[in-house]
Structure 1
């Protein structure tokens, strides 16, 4: 048993690493399953596979910019098992994680004896992707080390009481099953299709994720970025996660800066779309050294349209330069080979410039000859048209000039449609229990199903839907507001035939509403929430309103005293809640608005406060 009396689901310790990973990290393992390979030759075979994996990475994603860590492998030996293992921190770029899955799948196609598994801080995320179609016995509590990639296919280690018990497997146990009990390894094409759905856009997605933008930066920085373009990720992250200490550094005078705003040039810089969005979206006041330069550019932008483009490039370049400035000041404390290389290059360049001057830096003609020297990609993908977004959620695409276009790219459209369809399928899952997706309990037998579960199955055939008009009517009934004030256009619509069959009649709906009201009253009364202060001004005001609304029979008044108390208290609470909003949006205003009522501001109290002040 684990600490606190919880069952120890991970007896294998480090072998069940997925649930022990930090956030935004993915870990992957490659093992060779071949009984013909002797143990002493296994290490050399693993080293061969490692070199093969790095060659594949450089061939498919050599120009890709990794958010934090790149795909990497090292030979590991633990608990008598030899395998390849790697960990990548992908930060905010989920595309890095799926690129790794793509590389692993392609790598397993090269050797029939190669098996790979991948997991992140959420666990077996490939099975999470296919949660709607995985076998019912495969719950998150027992799926550890059960999903493997072999020859490009997703394989699952099934459950067997003797060889594969219903609990998460350790890495050693999983490898033993793959080697000695292959009959327990199954391939489900439907699960594979769902799990690998995002891989359909690869390898094209590697190129699509790149964004080129022309920015205005110091010539010295442009030269260093050309030498080490992958450092852009570390610089953007340094800017994105800046702190007061780094901001104080940026406010230094130009003489103490590595990249002062001098000898500025406009060059095309390669980003990923995630990095560019992080840089572009930040609100950032110009540091002291850049203030005058930005002010001059703003003055020109008011006079010419082209100057606005130049100002935008200068502001983006100022942010990027600030990120590199922060990175250069903290390079020695970074545990990154790329950052250390950048610091060495910067130090050598500054030494050479002291001896030979700025003549060693590239000229404008040289920079134009660089690959993608003047490329400036469209930034419209940063803009979100919420009308198009709503149409995408509805499964539609808007027509613009006869061409079909929608929210984002075709890939984003397909992903969004799949998310919406999965969500709708989950909400309308008739077999789902109180915890959502139905999962068999590992200790539950078929004969232990209760009668209550059977009855739930018979009555739980109502799709998820929200009838706003009916909800408003229910709220009026619970608050004691007469249904006679409801206009005809707000009347509830007819229920669908499916709901009518399961509910029975409208009378049953009324009984359910009354029962719900009684339960709410009992709950509120138990906490003393229905104790009414009849002497309060709000109650007196409501009493006068009730008297002016019309005459009622004395008998009906005496029989409804208790109900009136509840109405007074609810109205009082709503009024006080609405008043506390001070004219802003809030729960009370939202509820009243849904019922078609708009309360005015308390002008008298406002005027009284003004006179008092």
Structure 2
């Protein structure tokens, strides 16, 4: 399976040149096995059938629920995407059969997790369906389960490894795909029952805690309030209750330009002939986030807007003030959407304009100048003639067109008189959020404590194993230090730093050239294999200092060929080595290292170099290593320090210092 993996990666973000919106959930669903063998017409028909089945399954919930910004919806990619080779424009998915969507949740994080719960529900109801979900933070599901994730999983290794399948989270391990898998290979692995890709139980529990009770409990996030609004606003809300989201968005995101529309109120406060309209009381259902955005902002009613006197009671004043904000939001949203639809200055126009700037169309032109305006007008004309503009205009004008259709129907204030309105919901939750915040903080604190407890338990288990092994022998084995250090330097680490293996018995194969490492170490300690007399130290069995180290013969050959010094006089080198050894013997450097016992050389012939080498016996690297560790450990006087930390990480437990002060 791993051999089919591709090293190519696909960015989870649909915007290659700009950061995706911070308030949008992106998702994609894939039918498994992928119907890639179907011709494009049949494939598109299969996707339409799947889209109908999924929409029908979610219809009972979506028909009654109100989202803060956008509703959860799945769309079919354009037919030409099936035969395309570039990633999908919305979800950046490679050209594999899928449905996708984007849910703007604004300030309501509950909607983001509601969308996630719907993906879990769909994959549970349709076993042959896999899904992905991400936002501007990337794989945010992994962030939620951060304390339960394996150490290898990070933002660099996560692409094309995290999926929702059969109502559970699946993570493709590196043992299956050492490199980043291609999307089709990853989906094939998820669909293969013989391959275990299910995420650990701790990860599943962390995600399920966040979506527990959803989508059934989503109604608890809604709030119903009585309001006094102009009758056109009441008519629109009666026919299309979901448009309250657009009205609140228009009010909350207002600026100086849009507030000019609210000051005139030409659409919702004036009749067809310019006459005033009646005010009616109605009931509005919205999300709690919408209600908070309306109530918690001070906003002066426009001049001419009919507001009751405060003497009429606080309840009526609050209903009128809340209705005024909704009416102004409708006016600002309607007028701004209509203007953008007429001028074509929607979000896609901004993307198109920035692409022109990036390609240098306006280089050297002063904004506002005659030439700048001419180039801008030409670009606008080209944009309006493109299909991109027509699609954008249709989207922007959708609420405008629907509002015009509703207000074109006959209506009057009598429709809203005498109808029994439900009372406003209690909004104490808006002011008593401390308890909810404290509960959330306690849950997070408990999660961190459980993580630390498990971490300490694993640490104590390692100590117990180390203690039991040391108790079986009456004396401390100094060889553990050298063995642990050798295994440590053999461990191949990543660019993020060296890591000590948790279990030294399960070490990976050697990837480090240990011979070159010890050669460099011994050269620093003052020993060279090529020194005369040192050959005797390699005859018998000794410590690691007696390892037969290979010299850089290849390097020497290359260097000799390049420099032309391959035929250097050997006698000169021997004389030079004798002189160097004699010079070093008069210094104190050799006395700072412990040396291995000098083997018997009585059978060797006399030589000037042998006399000198009698004093320059090989350095015992293991003995010096152990001695340095013990001296450092002893100097800590029982306190934490580098020696005890490093030895502890390698699983070596040093007994207390037996020396008395």
Same fold (TM > 0.5): yes
Please state if 1:379 is matched with 2:423: no
124-133 or 108-117: bigger deviation:
108-117
Q: Distance in 1 between matches of 2:192 and 2:15?
A: 24
Specify which of 192, 199, 209 is matched with residue 197 of structure 1: 209
Q: Distance in 2 between matches of 1:453 and 1:173?
A: 46
Please state if 1:245 is matched with 2:257: yes
Q: Distance in 2 between matches of 1:193 and 1:448?
A: 28
Residues 246-298 of structure 1, C-alpha deviations (whole Å, 9 max, x = no match): 2222223x6x35325741111111111111111111111121122xx43x512
Are residues 248 and 15 of structure 1, via their aligned partners in 2, closer, same or farther at CA, if it must alter by over 3 Å? closer
Q: Is the 8 Å Cα contact of residues 232 and 407 (structure 2) preserved in structure 1?
A: no
Q: Distance in 2 between matches of 1:83 and 1:339?
A: 26
Q: Is the 8 Å Cα contact of residues 129 and 194 (structure 1) preserved in structure 2?
A: yes
Q: CA deviation at 1:230?
A: 0.4
Q: Distance in 2 between matches of 1:45 and 1:39?
A: 9
Are residues 181 and 81 of structure 1, via their aligned partners in 2, closer, same or farther at CA, if it must alter by over 3 Å? farther
Matches within 5 A, 1:258-269: 258-259=268-269, 262-269=277-284
Q: Is the 8 Å Cα contact of residues 10 and 16 (structure 1) preserved in structure 2?
A: no
Q: Distance in 1 between matches of 2:330 and 2:432?
A: 29
Are residues 11 and 263 of structure 1, via their aligned partners in 2, closer, same or farther at CA, if it must alter by over 3 Å? same
Q: Distance in 2 between matches of 1:100 and 1:18?
A: 21
Specify which of 89, 94, 98 is matched with residue 113 of structure 2: 98
Question: Which has more radius of gyration?
Answer: 2
Residues 415-435 of structure 1, C-alpha deviations (whole Å, 9 max, x = no match): 44322323556789968xxxx
SS of the counterpart of 2:121? Answer: helix
Q: Is the 8 Å Cα contact of residues 250 and 325 (structure 1) preserved in structure 2?
A: yes
Q: Is the 8 Å Cα contact of residues 158 and 186 (structure 1) preserved in structure 2?
A: no
Matches within 5 A, 1:554-593: none
Q: Distance in 1 between matches of 2:303 and 2:453?
A: 57
Residues 149-178 of structure 1, C-alpha deviations (whole Å, 9 max, x = no match): 111111111113xx5125x54433422433
Residues 331-376 of structure 1, C-alpha deviations (whole Å, 9 max, x = no match): 32265978734423443455566xxxxxx3251556716xxx3341
Specify which of 354, 379, 401 is matched with residue 344 of structure 1: 401
Q: Distance in 2 between matches of 1:55 and 1:208?
A: 24
Matches within 5 A, 1:330-409: 330-332=336-338, 333=340, 340-348=397-405, 360-363=411-414, 368=419, 373-384=421-432, 389=434, 407-408=435-436
Are residues 222 and 453 of structure 1, via their aligned partners in 2, closer, same or farther at CA, if it must alter by over 3 Å? farther
Q: Distance in 2 between matches of 1:23 and 1:138?
A: 23
SS of the counterpart of 1:86? Answer: strand
SS of the counterpart of 2:68? Answer: coil
Please state if 1:215 is matched with 2:215: no
Q: Is the 8 Å Cα contact of residues 267 and 374 (structure 1) preserved in structure 2?
A: no
Residues 7-27 of structure 1, C-alpha deviations (whole Å, 9 max, x = no match): xx9942446659963311211
Q: CA deviation at 1:100?
A: 1.3
TM-score (norm 1): 0.58
Tell me, which stretches of 5 or more residues in structure 1 are unaligned?
1-8, 302-306, 354-359, 390-406, 432-439, 461-613
Specify which of 443, 447, 472 is matched with residue 422 of structure 1: 447
**Corresponding pairs, count:** 399
| Equivalent position of 2:147 in the other structure | 132
Please state if 1:24 is matched with 2:23: yes
| Equivalent position of 1:286 in the other structure | 301
Q: CA deviation at 1:215?
A: 0.6
Are residues 57 and 259 of structure 1, via their aligned partners in 2, closer, same or farther at CA, if it must alter by over 3 Å? farther
SS of the counterpart of 2:148? Answer: coil
Q: Distance in 1 between matches of 2:300 and 2:442?
A: 39
